[in-house]
Amino acid sequence: MKRTLFHGGQIVLGDQRNPVRADVMVEGDTIVDVGTHFTDADKAERFDCAGKILVPGLFDIHVHLREPGREDKETIETGTRAALNGGVTGVLAMPNTTPPIDTGGMVRFVLNIAREKAPIDVMTTGCISRGRLGKALAEIGDMHACGAVMITDDGDPCHDPLVLRRAMEYARNFDLIVGSHCDVRELFGDGALNEGKASYRLGLPGIPAASEEICMDRDLRLAQLTGCKVHVQHVSTARGLEIIRRFKNEGVEVTAEVTPHHLIFNEDDITHYNTHFKMNPPLRTAKDNEELLNGLRDGSLDCLATDHAPHTCFEKNRDFLNAPFGITGLETALASLYDRFIAKDLLDWGTVVRAFCDRPRKILNVKKVALAKNSRADFSIFNPDGETRCDKAFFESKSQNSPFLGKTIKGLIETVVFRGELVLNRKSKEQAQPV
Amino acid sequence: MNSPAKKLRNKDLLDIRSLSTDEIRLILDTAVPFKKLFTRSVKKVPPLKGKTVLLLFYEPSTRTKTSFEIAAKRLSADVANFSVSSSSVVKGESILDTVATLQSMKGDYIVVRHKGAGVAELIARHTPISVINAGDGFHAHPTQALLDAFTLREVFPDLVGKKLLLIGDILHSRVARSTMRCLHRLGMEIAIFGPATLFPPGRPEWIQCFLKFEEAMEWAPDVVYLLRLQLERQQANFFPSMREYHNVFGIDRQRFRVIDERGIYVMHPGPVNRGVELVDEVMEYDRCLINQQVENGIATRMSILHLLHPSNRKRPALAATEDGIL
């Protein structure tokens, strides 16, 4: 079996704040040894990682792959290629496709295509309700049997509290997690961004933070009532974080995720009606950025997840009110976290790997991926001195609705290894160019 | 920055926020001689001869559109009308396709009104033509604000410290937002009164709020600016009925007596809902400035068209932006 020694670099471990100097020996699809004890006697191909940081394969617990129905925006194939481009080797797909993933058959459809076309691991959620209409339960048992690992009506909240209660009770028969997209439809109204200074400045209807917080409180109280496991999706407000902390302290089995964009951007960044800053939940305030970052540091926010939401140029290139909600994120997540936080000592590598690699897999009961002996060999080789130029050519996704479009961020994923194979290697492209 | 502006910096007029206070004064000062023209029998002057003004109105409008049309024609410009009814598709692609068409016709100005906030800016970024925002959603209506400021300057030569009270649906009013900002810049104190459901969240701190008419009167406003109330707002529970709105917030006979006694001026951007925002007496009041506002609208718009002419501007037109980056 082929052996490769990735030598000279530093590796990130979820329980270590900073990367440690170590070489990684890969044989077949497994890491067989890690350390600094390798010598020339160890027979293996060598891959030079000097000056680079090895990051274990990330897992994004919230992505929209748009297939079936909106293959013009993204497909399972292009979305997972985009994931690889961002060092993500496992994703959990959301069910708000057209038609939605609300039956065992649809679950099988997604997983079959993924098995055939996706270069990484793909798991899928199923809807809580039939048609994602929030009225009748979907065949949760069948979806579970076909492989769904979470149920959610993401894109919308489960509006009727009784339906949500029943779904949470029923999910317990299958040990399924209920994913919670929090907003109150009536308070959300026709809002396009956070209700506050920016909505006044731009003359647009706003979405009050209270909409998300009231629903979050309700969903977690129901989780408490029913004993169900809940995963709160895309938390965007400091008060929401407080609600999560409170219920965690009371022993409720709740996990929560936050997106890089809710840490990096806020409503002041929406300067010229740029729809690449329009998403649901919306960008909130600088104070929320700060508190959410604290929540990530102290573990109250378990996961980082991008909520990768591709849309075509045509759809996004219209007035702010009518443009669809959502931005992509798979390809820029790691580099943007490095650029804005790790490089500035606002976050350490360990925290990022814990939140973006270890915790999501733990929550979904997926085997841990790490830079450790006997782990599957999934990792990316990150160059902290490189740059990610986010032009159209960089994006593997079919869509480029990213706030980073046209910008350059510090840090570059140069190589990605998946199951021991080099599946992405930007360096080789450079080496192939004539001097 | 202390010397008064002699030219406008930007090729467009999109909102009050992007104008400096000096530029506001320049527009108002330049409107004065244009207004004097109206007393002559031949009201035309040649500055915009050979230029084409394209009116792109996605929302119905008689007053603003006619006002722009007259202003353009009095400057000897040619006017072309692209009226798109509100029932047509109003998606981004159509707007930009329309803009490309207008550009191919080599127009010099686009005056645009649309129910989507930011549309004027979207258009301005995609064309070197001068774009004038005639109202975009709830966001801005800068020419209305400027004509309101012009009107008040005729009444109070020095606006500093004078008080302006706006009454009604501030939340959905682009007129309110632009007029408040413009007059605040010129030194007026600003306050609002009306149903609290219609106070806009995220508003700047310099806007005072009154929940009762009596308290608003204690503040001693010099001018009361009435906003039009729309029936749709009742369906959305902003207030229970037009009847109740009129009883609590409208300028009925009793409230008008207070205004009359104190000699407070009354303004309204039009069109007026008689019996809702006000009673008939208000329209006959000698300190009602509504007709002056209309007249000044033409003079102010002439001033803006004149000042946006490339030869009257500081820099050459900004290049149009490419691709899908807004």
Q: What is the pLDDT of residues B155-212, one digit of tens each?
A: 999 999 999 999 999 999 999 999 999 999 999 999 999 999 999 999 999 999 999 9
Read off the pLDDT of residues B93-105 as tens digits, 9 standing for 90 and up. 577 788 888 788 8
C-alpha A199/C-alpha B16 separation (Å) is: 16
Q: Which amino acid is at A154?
A: D
Average pLDDT, chain B: 90
Read off the pLDDT of residues A385-413 as tens digits, 9 standing for 90 and up. 999 999 999 999 999 999 999 999 999 99
Residues A95, A127 contacting (CB under 8 angstroms): yes
- How distant, in Å, are the alpha carbons of A56, A121, A306 from that of A419? 12, 10, 23
Beta bridge partners, B261, equal: none
Query: Average pLDDT for residues B210-225, to the nearest whole number?
Result: 98
- How distant, in Å, are the alpha carbons of A94, A358, A406, A413, B13 from that of A334? 21, 15, 17, 8, 41
Provide the percentage of residues in chain A whose pLDDT is more than 70.
Answer: 98
- The number of C-beta contacts closer than 8 angstroms across A and B is 89
- Per DSSP bridges, beta strands A23-27 and A3-7 are antiparallel
Q: For residue A24, which of A35, A40, A39 has the smallest C-alpha distance?
A: A35
Q: How confident is the model at residue A333 (pLDDT cuts 50, 70, 90)?
A: very high
- Closest chain A CA to residue B172: A203
Q: How confident is the model at residue A166 (pLDDT cuts 50, 70, 90)?
A: very high
3-state secondary structure of A410: strand
DSSP E strands in A50-129: the ranges are 53-56, 58-63, 88-93, 121-124
Q: How confident is the model at residue B88 (pLDDT cuts 50, 70, 90)?
A: very low
Residues of B in contact with A186 (CB under 8 A): none
Query: Average pLDDT for residues A110-138, to the nearest whole number?
Result: 97
Q: How confident is the model at residue A247 (pLDDT cuts 50, 70, 90)?
A: very high
pLDDT at A260 over 50: yes
B315 C-beta neighbours (distance < 10 Å), count: 11
Q: How confident is the model at residue A433 (pLDDT cuts 50, 70, 90)?
A: very low
Read off the pLDDT of residues B266-284 as tens digits, 9 standing for 90 and up. 999 988 989 999 999 999 9
Alpha helix locations (H) across chain B? 21-37, 63-74, 92-104, 119-125, 142-155, 174-185, 213-218, 232-235, 242-249, 253-262, 280-284, 290-308
Chain B interface with A: residues with Cβ < 8 Å: 17, 90-93, 95-96, 114, 116-119, 121-122, 125, 136-140, 174, 177, 200-204, 324-326
Provide the percentage of residues in chain A whose pLDDT is more than 90.
Answer: 96
Q: Say if residue A173 is exposed, middle or buried (CB neighbours under 10 Å; 0-12, 13-18, 19+).
A: exposed
DSSP letters, A110-121, are HHHHHHHH-SSE
Question: Using the beta-carbon criterion (under 8 Å), do B117 and A320 form an inter-chain contact?
Answer: yes
pLDDT of residue B314: 75
Query: Average pLDDT for residues A74-81, to the nearest whole number?
Result: 98
C-alpha A119/C-alpha A79 separation (Å) is: 10
Average pLDDT, chain A: 96
> Residue B78 corresponds to which tokens in the numbers above?
């040619």
Residues of A in contact with B200 (CB under 8 A): 200
Question: Using the beta-carbon criterion (under 8 Å), do B326 and A275 form an inter-chain contact?
Answer: yes
Question: Using the beta-carbon criterion (under 8 Å), do B326 and A200 form an inter-chain contact?
Answer: no
Residues B152, B223 contacting (CB under 8 angstroms): yes
pLDDT at B1 over 50: no
Residues B188, B265 contacting (CB under 8 angstroms): no
DSSP E strands in A245-313: the ranges are 254-258, 303-304
